Amino acid sequence: MDKPLILVVEDDNAVKNLIVTALETQSYRYLTAANGAQAVLCCATHRPDILLLDLGLPDMDGVEVIAKIRTWSALPIIVISARSEDSDKIDALDAGADDYLTKPFSVEELLARLRVTLRRLKSLEGAASADSVFVNGDLTVDYASGFATLRGEELHLTPIEYKLLCLLCRNVGKVLTHTYLTREIWGTAFDSDIASLRVFMATLRKKIQPRAQDAQFIQTHVGVGYRMVKL
Ligand code: CA
């Protein structure tokens, strides 16, 4: 991939300048938009590789921007929200955003998220040819045969643990919310399901990361959800 093109949608000039300066240090190409309508138009005309989207925009809700773009594009979307917009952040993830940054954030944090997203884009490009097997470090999931291995040894997973693992792997690099996961697994999203989800996630983790020195495949996002990290 050439240097990725990043669309920065932010109406606060100070934040926009911080982001743009950070992108310049990495020689990323970028475009900027200051409202939702411009963002949608710019996505359609310039086809950026990544969208960095502020949720509090003057003309429309960032979640609405995501919904519009998701009708025709799967480009990675990283949302930027203030702490007071925590529930918006979860709505944004459920609407199809891939990741989030909470204001105030550091330049290092921003660049790290971009690297995660770029790795994910690369792995998606590579996955087209070997779609039925997911490989991440020592972990392999053979979707077609329905089993997972760690260092070549078959993992003994319960059906729910396996389903959870598949959801995380198929969305590698993306933060999946509690609501998304419980809906996919049980078809509902009650608080009790979220409590069960935590239990299954803990047992799944013990199986795929049995030793203290094992790679941490699954990241916890407190109050939000989980992410499979591409190693
Ligand atoms: Ca704003």
Whether the Cβ atoms of residue 19 and residue 8 lie closer than 8 Å to each other: yes
Dist. CA 116–CA 177, nearest whole Å:
18
| Residue bearing the bigger pLDDT, 191 or 16 | 16
58 Cα: distance to centroid of ligand 1 (angstroms): 7
Beta strand residue intervals within 119-202, DSSP E: 133-136, 139-142, 147-150, 153-154, 175-177
Overall domain count for the chain: 2
Verify that 37 and 101 share a domain, yes or no.
yes
CA 57 / ligand 1 centre spacing (Å): 5
Residues 106, 138 within the same domain: no
User: Is residue 128 scored above 60 in pLDDT?
Assistant: no
- 11/80 same-domain check: yes
Give CA separation, 152 vs 88, 161, 203, in Å. Answer: 41, 18, 20
Same domain, 59 and 152: no
Between 62-70 and 86-95, two packed helices, what is the crossing angle to 10 degrees? 10
Q: In the prediction, which pLDDT does 92 show?
A: 93
Same-domain status, 139 and 100: no
Q: pLDDT tens digits, residue range 150-195? A: 999 999 999 899 999 999 999 998 999 999 999 998 888 788 888 8
Closest CA to 173 of 113, 111, 104, 84: 113
Specify whether 165 is located in the same domain as 68. Answer: no
pLDDT given at position 78: 96
Spacing, Cα 89 to ligand 1 middle (Å): 13
Q: At which of 124, 139, 168 does a domain end? A: 124
13, 117: one domain: yes
Looking at the structure, tell me whether residues 12 and 115 fall in a common domain: yes
pTM, full prediction? 0.77
| pLDDT of 1 over the 70 cut | no
Same domain, 175 and 64: no
Report the interhelical angle of 178-186 vs 159-170 (nearest 10°): 130
- Residue 162 CA: distances (Å) to CA of 57, 94, 208, 215, 229: 39, 22, 11, 19, 17
* Phi, psi angles (nearest 5°) of residue 89: -60, -45
Q: For the domain that residue 214 is a member of, what is the CATH number?
A: 1.10.10.10
Structure tokens at 104: 């105030």
Same domain, 30 and 58: yes
Among 107, 124, 141, residue at a domain's last position: 124
**How does DSSP classify residue 83?**
G
CA atoms within 13 A on the CB side of 149: 11
> CATH code at 23?
3.40.50.2300
What pLDDT, on a 0 to 100 scale, did the predictor assign at position 130? 52
Q: What stretch of H or E contains 228?
A: strand 225-228
Average pLDDT in the 78-98 region?
A: 87
Cα 59 to averaged position of ligand 1 atoms, centre (Å): 10
pLDDT by residue (tens digit) across 196-229?
A: 999 999 999 999 999 988 889 999 999 999 999 9
Tell which residue, 86, 100, 98, 94, has the closest CA to residue 54: 100
Q: Distance from the CA of 18 to the center of ligand 1, in angstroms? A: 14
List the single range of 85-89, 91-95, 107-111 with lowest mean pLDDT: 85-89
**Do residues 164 and 79 share a domain?**
no
pLDDT for position 126: 59
Range of the domain at 37: 5-124
**Mean pLDDT of all residues belonging to the chain:** 90
Residue 58 has pLDDT above 90, yes or no: yes
Domain C-terminal end among 102, 124, 146: 124
Mean pLDDT confidence for 19-39: 96
- Does 109 share its domain with 162? no
Instruction: Select from 4, 6, 2, 54 the least CA-distant residue to 30.
Output: 6
